[in-house]
Amino acid sequence: MISTYNSIKRLIEKYGLKPALKRDLSLFASSCLGLSYTTLLEKYFGINYNAYAAISRQGDYLSFINTPFIAKKAAKILEREDYLWGKIVPKVEKIFSDTLKEMQEYVPDKDISVKKKLEKIVNIMPVHYIAVGLVNAFMRYFDDKSAAKKHSKEFIVKIGNLRNKLASQYLWFDSVFLKYAKQYEKEMDIPNNTLRYLIIPELKEALRNKKLLNEFAKASKSRQKAYFHYFIPSPQKEGVITDVKIIKNIIDYYTKGEKTDEKFLKGTAAFKGLAKGIIYILSKNNPPKDFILVTHMTHPKDIALMKKAKAIITDEGGILSHAAIVSRELKIPCIIGTKIATKVLKDGDLVEVNADKEVVKIIKRLK
């Protein structure tokens, strides 16, 4: 029974899980990722994540994966280039395009009920996320700098472009789900965000049996403050823990090494160069003149902003990350994988980005 602080720690350590990516995702999307990464990816491509977990508190979502395990699995594909381009890539691109087309054509149809749309989304999303899981496994392979030495620059660029393409829509899929979830909640007169905080089996059951909606609404409410979600493939087991104190302690334990009073930040140079400017933490507000973009990780929707930035700094990412690929195309200094940039840097701070030395220097804090 996984319900206590120690049992959660044992699960994380048993599967070698470490904090990975910060995202803005629903619990339902997390459930889709768990199923896709651990089970469907194995079925379609013979590789898998040995487990998947995520922790959320007040809307902040942090995934947990075993990077060395995944990188080793990805190596079996990436180090066989003829097999990769001849068999794997066509297959995964078809999964991506088929599920995207189905989502774009079926779901907006006005003649289809909201309930039917949600039932379709429940089936489509985990399959679409197979593509995301595969290219993210490739990204983990290249987290090890020595891996890049085994491949040409042209190969790495092609893999990076593939990842950008296949990972470009998964947040949109979640946004579509949330749109129709909201409509269904209004239709059924249940609290907002009820469906957002359900895992796949619960959502299927809720759509089958309206009498259970109020019961699921109560469970969902308890998860909105905090939750720990885990998915284990063999034997398949999925669960959600909602004890706020336990979750706080888990977050504190696995992020305790992060210092937020640094004057220098270190990361990996995605594109070299030197730039000085004002920090702009990615948000809805307009950026200042001569700004340096700071974010957890960039996405395709951020390209217009990235083109205006003097430099880019991210918490996450490797040489296949979106920020790395776009910065190389734009030829602007970029430092990725700092882990703590969004915690250390504040809007208005004056910094120098020296990507030649892979260092960010804080020149002046905004008082």
Q: Of 164, 159, 137, 154, whose CA–CA distance to 66 is shortest? A: 137
Token pair for residue 120?
Answer: 């379709």
pLDDT given at position 259 = 60
pLDDT given at position 172 = 93
Domain with CATH 3.50.30.10 in the chain: 264-364
CATH number (3.40.1550.10, 3.50.30.10, 1.10.510.10, 2.40.37.10) of 264-364 reads 3.50.30.10
The string of pLDDT tens digits covering residues 171-214 is 899 999 999 999 999 999 999 999 999 999 999 999 999 899 99
The string of pLDDT tens digits covering residues 3-55 is 899 999 999 999 999 998 888 899 999 999 999 999 999 999 999 999 999 99
Geometric angle at alpha carbon 166, from 165 and 169, rounded to 5° = 90
Confidence of residue 69 (pLDDT cuts 50, 70, 90): very high
CA atoms within 13 A on the CB side of 224: 12
Report the alpha-carbon distance of residue 141 to residue 296 in Å, rounded.
20
Task: Tell me whether residue 120 is exposed, middle or buried, using C-beta atoms within 10 angstroms of its C-beta: 0 to 12, 13 to 18, 19 or more.
Answer: middle
More confident residue, 343 or 311: 311
